[in-house]
Amino acid sequence: MKASEFDSKFDAGEDVTAELDLASARRPVRDPHRVNVDFPAWMVASLDQEATRLGVTRQSVIKTWIAERIDQRAGSA
């Protein structure tokens, strides 16, 4: 299938998943990069409290809060 055909089907709202090789699909912009950050003990305790309250991991809280801050800054620029 040509790209223009694919685009047309997609734009028309048709299901194009059969045309995709999902086994080898990846999101290159979302490839994880490990970053080490040292936090004071009181901050880790606060993060853990929030993670417990939300029922998620500490890492999820950190990622969510950083993403929110980046979105705020992008919106104000």
Note the pTM of the prediction, 2 decimals: 0.59
The answer to the question of residue 33 being in a domain is no
pLDDT tens digit sequence for 1-25: 889 999 999 999 999 989 888 888 7
Tokens 């059969």 -> residue: 18
What are the structure tokens assigned to 12, written together?
């028309």
**CB-CB neighbours of 61 under 10 Å:** 19
CA 26 to chain centre: 13
Domain count, the chain: 1
The answer to the question of residue 9 being in a domain is yes
The answer to the question of residue 42 being in a domain is yes
The answer to the question of residue 68 being in a domain is yes
The answer to the question of residue 32 being in a domain is no
Please give the residue range of the domain that contains residue 70: 3-26+38-76
The answer to the question of residue 13 being in a domain is yes
Residue 77 clears pLDDT 70, i.e. is over it: no
Q: What is the pLDDT of residue 27?
A: 75
Q: What is the pLDDT of residue 69?
A: 95
The answer to the question of residue 31 being in a domain is no
The answer to the question of residue 58 being in a domain is yes
